[in-house]
Amino acid sequence: MGILDSDLEEMFARSGEGTGVFPFDVQPKKITEKEFTSFQQLIHHISGIWLPPAKATLLVGRLLKRLRIRGFSSFDEYYGAVTSEPEELTEMLNAISTNETRFFREPLQFEFLEQRILPQWKADGKSGKRSRRIRVWSAGCSTGQEPYSLAMLLLHHLPPSDGWEIEIIATDLSTQALETAMDATWEIAKASEISDRYLKAFMLKGYGEQEGRLKAGPEIRQLVHFFHLNLNDQAYFISGKFDLIFCRNVLIYFNVETRTQIVRRLLQFLLPEGYLFAGHAESLHTMCGELRAVMPTIYNHARRPGQQANAHR
């Protein structure tokens, strides 16, 4: 199997480069079946991400830039670099990860949080049934929109003045995505994804050199702590348990076996009364013995141990 030049042409046509031509500095490359299989297995072994043969064009498109930067003329040569240089492995994982995200993505989930979960927490906090400390994990946080959306919503509804303490841990495999997330600065166009109420309360608009940029304000920045974490690792270095775990639009890149293992590991970090949020395309129905759907894509532990919600912290 080879990637045909016509596949590449199609790829550039889709990216707005026009048909029949390639950008001047791009040398179309072919990947052999053997080369593709080597990358497929390496990527799966390291990250859990499964690339079926239909994704070969995508892989070529994403790796070409690295080949060009490193001056390699074949994928085989590049494979040699990736397997012998840890920095190049990191670059490759950055190149192949899909970091698409949005503020308040999948609004129905945020509505559920606002209308069903938070009122319960508030009532339980008032009656002393639960602590006022909330811990959230955004696993696969990409460039930060997900954890900052959570920070805005939680800070608005559970203010420190009412005794609430919020901690958000945000992790990702891509060091490049994490850099943007930690900088907490995005194109101003992203402001359209955030309600006026939250924009005014929690976001900053750049001026001068920062014209055209949107930045998270200090109140929400101090709630979110970023770490590099590979969900495919056998053990996670995260400590303590969480009220909410968001792992959305990440599991979709894994096969059923890897997905099941990862969700099982995540569940060890979910409090007995906690909620796991998945993406809309990530069916976890094969795990019905371990998960109970409270609405499509939002889950509790199927069997909840008898402990109090705050007994594990």
Ligand X SMILES: C[S@@+](CC[C@H](N)C(=O)[O-])C[C@H]1O[C@@H](n2cnc3c(N)ncnc32)[C@H](O)[C@@H]1O
Q: How far is the CB of 252 from ligand X (least distance, A)?
A: 8
* Separation of CA 81 from chain center: 27
276 is a contact residue toward ligand X (CB under 6 A):
no
Cβ neighbours for 165, distance < 8 A, ≥ 6 positions apart? 132, 133, 134
**Which position among 31, 56, 97, 214 is part of the footprint of ligand X (CB under 6 A)?**
97
Q: How far is the CB of 26 from ligand X (least distance, A)?
A: 24
- The H or E element spanning position 270 is strand 270-278
* Separation of CA 33 from chain center: 30
Query: Dihedral, CA atoms, 236, 237, 238, 239, nearest 10 degrees?
Result: 120
Task: Name the CA radius of gyration of the chain, rounded.
Answer: 22
| Residue 168, token pair as written in the block | 């958000």
Query: Dihedral, CA atoms, 194, 199, 201, 206, nearest 10 degrees?
Result: 140
147 is a contact residue toward ligand X (CB under 6 A):
no
Closest to ligand X by CB, 146 vs 243, is: 146
One character per residue 32-71, x = contact with ligand X (rule: CB under 6 A): ---------------xxx----------------------
258 is a contact residue toward ligand X (CB under 6 A):
no
In the range 111-130, which residues lie near ligand X by CB under 6 A?
none
Q: Which one, of 188, 105, 116, lies nearest residue 142 by Cα?
A: 105
178 is a contact residue toward ligand X (CB under 6 A):
no
Q: How far is the CB of 165 from ligand X (least distance, A)?
A: 24
Rounded CA-CA distance 24/245 in Å is 45
Q: Which one, of 97, 79, 99, lies nearest residue 88 by Cα?
A: 79
Rounded CA-CA distance 66/72 in Å is 8
**Which position among 66, 132, 248, 259 is part of the footprint of ligand X (CB under 6 A)?**
248
Q: How far is the CB of 27 from ligand X (least distance, A)?
A: 27
Rounded CA-CA distance 262/242 in Å is 16
259 is a contact residue toward ligand X (CB under 6 A):
no
- Cα separation values, 67 from 132, 151, 289, Å: 51, 39, 45
Number of residues that bind ligand X (CB under 6 A): 24
- The H or E element spanning position 231 is none
Q: How far is the CB of 253 from ligand X (least distance, A)?
A: 6
Closest to ligand X by CB, 228 vs 313, is: 228
Q: How far is the CB of 157 from ligand X (least distance, A)?
A: 21
250 is a contact residue toward ligand X (CB under 6 A):
yes
**Which position among 74, 98, 180, 310 is part of the footprint of ligand X (CB under 6 A)?**
98
149 is a contact residue toward ligand X (CB under 6 A):
no
97 DSSP assignment: -
Q: Are 176 and 94 in contact (CB under 8 A)?
A: yes
Closest to ligand X by CB, 94 vs 131, is: 94
232 is a contact residue toward ligand X (CB under 6 A):
yes
235 is a contact residue toward ligand X (CB under 6 A):
no
Q: How far is the CB of 261 from ligand X (least distance, A)?
A: 11
Task: Summarize as ranges the residues that interact with ligand X (CB under 6 A).
Answer: 47-49, 97-101, 105, 140, 142, 146, 172-174, 177, 230-232, 248-250, 253, 279
